[in-house]
Amino acid sequence: MQKILIIEDDVSIAKIQSDFLKINGFDVTVKADGITGLGEALTGQYSLILLDLMLPGLDGFEVCKRIREKIAVPLLMVTAKIEDVDKIRGFSTGADDYIAKPFSLPELVARVKANLAQFDRITALSTPLAKEIHFHNIVLNPQTRLVKIGDNFIDLKTKEFDLLCFLMSNPDIVFSKEHLYERLWGMDAIGDLKTVVVHINRLREKIEKDPQNPLYIQTVWGAGYRFKT
C-alpha cells in the first residue's frame, strides 16, 4: 500500500483528504505544521506528499525547498493561492503539481495517482541500461539524474529534469503543451497548461545562454516545443 503524507493545518480539510484517499486504497499520515511535516517527510517512507502552502512554523515554500534538498518524491501543493507568481515560486522550489482549493475529491485522487504513475515511469529510466544523452555541450544522465553543460553541473528540479530528459530523448520532434502536460504530469485535460510554460521558461533560464533566443529548447509557434539538435 502506497503511503501519502498530508501536511495541512486545517483539521477539517486534512480529514476529508485523508478519508477519501484511504477509501481509494492509500495509507495516509497527517501533520499539521511545517516543522513536524518536514521531519516526517524526510523519513523517506512516503510515496507522495500533499503540502499546504500556508502553514505554521514553516510555510509550504520552505518545506518544499528543504524536502527537495534531501529526497526525490512527488510533491503536490494544495493551496487557495493560485496567482501565477505563487505557481512560479512553488515550481521553482520543487513542486511537481498544484491543486487549488476548493477542489473535488475525485480530482485530488486523479492527480495523486497520475503523479505517482509518472514518477514510476521516470524512475524506470534510472536503470543500468539508461545511457547518457549528449547533444551540443549538454550531457544528461537518466540514471544519476545529473545534467552537465560544458564543465558545469546544472541544478534542476524534478519536473525540470523530467521535461529536459523527455525532450532530449526525442530530439527535433515538436510536442504540444497538451502532449507535454499529459506525458509529464500524467493527466489529460486536467490542470493548467501554464505549468508547461513555466517549466520551459525555467529550463531555458538554466541551460540557455540567452533564454530569450533559445538555441536548444525552441518554440514552434502554433505547435509547441522541441529540442533542436
Where are the chain's structural domains? 3-123, 133-227
pLDDT at 129: 47
Given a cut of 70, is residue 1 above it in pLDDT? yes
Given a cut of 90, is residue 100 above it in pLDDT? no
The DSSP letter of residue 117 is H
3-123 is classed CATH 1.25.40.10 = no
> Regarding predicted confidence, which is higher, 150 or 120?
150
Q: Which three cell numbers stand for residue 190?
A: 486536467
CATH topology of domain 133-227: Arc Repressor Mutant, subunit A (1.10.10)
pLDDT at 71: 83
- Within the chain, where are the H helices? 11-23, 34-41, 60-70, 84-93, 105-123, 158-169, 177-185, 194-207
Q: Which three cell numbers stand for residue 106?
A: 475525485
Q: Which residues make Cβ contacts (< 8 Å) with residue 206, sequence separation at least 6? A: 154, 155, 156, 160
Distance CA 167, CA 126 (A): 16
The DSSP letter of residue 131 is P
The type of residue at 108 is L
Mean pLDDT of 107-118: 88
Mean pLDDT of the chain: 86
